[in-house]
A and B are shown apart, each in its own frame.
Chain A
Amino acid sequence: MSATPPSDSQWPLWEVFLQPPKGAAHEHAGSVHAPSAEHALQNARDVYARRGEAVSIWVVPSVAITASTPDDMGPFFDPGNDKAYRHPQFYKVPQGVRVF
């Protein structure tokens, strides 16, 4: 990694999550550079939501995110796949009965 000239100021990276209208969950949209949370929120709105794609915006410093790694994939996610009782299709309900 080459040395950056001393005169150049860096702004930290933030991840941007947008919530589209109609009750959907927040989705990762990309990232922005900003010096503070307020700047990050404004930048996120200008860069990712200027076509009205969002009713809510979250910005999170990238360093604050803890992510699983692909090596985790096996033990981390496997336990779910063979436990059929976690899925609604496992359960038989008498015909004609509405559960909810």
Chain B
Amino acid sequence: MSSRAPEGSRSSLFQYLLRLGDDRLVLGHRLSEWCGHGPILEEDIALANIALDLIGEATLFLRRAAEVEGAGRDEDALAFLRDAADFRNAQMVELPKGDFGFTIVRQLFFSVFSMLQMDALQKSADADVAGIAAKALKESRYHVRHSAQWVVTLGDGTAESHERAQRAVDDLWRYTGELFIADDVDRDVAASGLGIDPSSLEAAWRSQIESVLAQATLTIPEPRYMQRGGREGRHTEHLSHMLAEMQVLPRSHPGATW
């Protein structure tokens, strides 16, 4: 079921939905790389669960995006036939999975953001977005619980786990700012009630993250320049490698059904 987007916001809504979908598609894909290689069988299952939730959410957002665009594309065309420059995910989610500490710290950072974002989007003027957000909110809450539990465990575990977790926090921090930068797309969708201004989430995010990191005996790095560009299609070197792998089959067999 689709609702007609108010006039003038059509292209902003499309861009906004790509951001929502691409964040989750790329992060879900990175998580799926752990399958068969996790530190213990129970965690293989847990990470796969989170990946499945994220890819499911991405599918719904991208499907809605394709509808809004109205150019005959579907969610698969958006996922598998766009080049890196047309992806709108934040840079943080495309970074290689790293060690388990890196993966789980990144998951914490993203999941708290997602939980706050989905909570707000439940009131979206777009009925589909509101519906997806309600489901994604439940899932994000669980992701927060799981990743926070691990960040605390690693931060306050052994000397080695503490060092690795701190290194992950230090390496990832410079990518977190991008989540909260508002541009014209954000202001547009916020004005029409279809989306929200991400900068409105920053204080709550910061507060929750500080609380978890304190419990984990981890410190927040000194402020420095926040990397950005993903929302405009300027990514790190990692995304095109990831997409080369992810998109290889549809690209090698144009028009084929799978």
Q: Which A residues are closer than 8 A to B by beta carbons? A: 11, 32-35, 38-39, 42-43, 46-47, 50
Contacts and interface: CB of A to CB of B under 8 A. Distances in A.
B146 interface: yes
B46 A46 contact: yes
B192 interface: no
Given A46-B49, A50-B49, A38 B42 contact: no
B45 A47 contact: yes
B93 to A, nearest CB: 22
A43 B149 CA distance: 12
Given A42-B46, A50-B49, 10 more contacts: A32-B42, A33-B40, A34-B42, A35-B153, A38-B149, A39-B153, A43-B45, A46-B42, A46-B46, A50-B45
Nearest to A39: B149
Interface of B: 40, 42, 45-46, 49, 145-146, 149, 153
A54 to B, nearest CB: 14
B45 A42 contact: no
Nearest to B42: A43
Contacts of B40: 11, 33
10 pairs of A and B residues whose beta carbons are closest in the complex: A43-B42, A46-B46, A46-B45, A46-B49, A47-B45, A42-B146, A38-B149, A32-B42, A50-B49, A33-B42
Nearest to A50: B49
B49 to A, nearest CB: 5
B89 to A, nearest CB: 26
A33 B46 CA distance: 13
Contacts of A35: 153
A50 B47 CA distance: 12
Contacts of B45: 43, 46-47, 50
Contacts of B153: 35, 39
A75 to B, nearest CB: 40
24 contacts: A11-B40, A32-B42, A33-B40, A33-B42, A34-B42, A35-B153, A38-B149, A39-B149, A39-B153, A42-B46, A42-B145, A42-B146, A42-B149, A43-B42, A43-B45, A43-B46, A46-B42, A46-B45, A46-B46, A46-B49, A47-B42, A47-B45, A50-B45, A50-B49
A47 B47 CA distance: 11
B106 to A, nearest CB: 19
Contacts of B46: 42-43, 46
Nearest to A43: B42
A58 to B, nearest CB: 17
A50 B149 CA distance: 19
B189 to A, nearest CB: 33
Nearest to A33: B42
Nearest to A42: B146
Contacts of A32: 42
Nearest to B52: A50
B85 to A, nearest CB: 37
Nearest to A11: B40
Nearest to B46: A46
A34 B153 CA distance: 12
A42 B43 CA distance: 10
Nearest to B149: A38
A32 B40 CA distance: 11
Contacts of A11: 40
Nearest to A38: B149
